Amino acid sequence: GQNIDQPTEMTATEGAIVQINCTYQTSGFNGLFWYQQHAGEAPTFLSYNVLDGLEEKGRFSSFLSRSKGYSYLLLKELQMKDSASYLCAVRPSSASKIIFGSGTRLSIRP
């Protein structure tokens, strides 16, 4: 079957760094996505990894290890507006269907 695991909730302090982990077991692999979703809003695309390594985009970075079925999203210099749910998602094949994890709710405290 297809399975994507990530922690349900995390808390971090404004200005700090937080790492959100994601492990996956899927029938194939054709890319991993991270989305951000603020409460009551639609998910928005953050990052995409298909090869092993780190992709950096401003304060956000995403890492992938295909051999370990593992990814993480790293958020630096945390701001209060980063309080949101972060969804890890995998595309198992070249088709466009994407499988989503349950999401990690991140709370930022002052």
CB of 94 to another protein, least distance (A): 5
CB of 68 to another protein, least distance (A): 21
Binder among 18, 22, 32, 43 for another protein (CB under 8 A): 43
Binder among 19, 44, 65, 107 for another protein (CB under 8 A): 44
Tell me which residues in 73-92 interact with another protein (CB under 8 A).
87, 91
* Adjacent-strand bridge partners of 34: 47, 88
Residues that bind another protein in the complex, under the rule CB under 8 A = 8, 30-31, 33, 40-45, 48, 50, 87, 91, 94-103
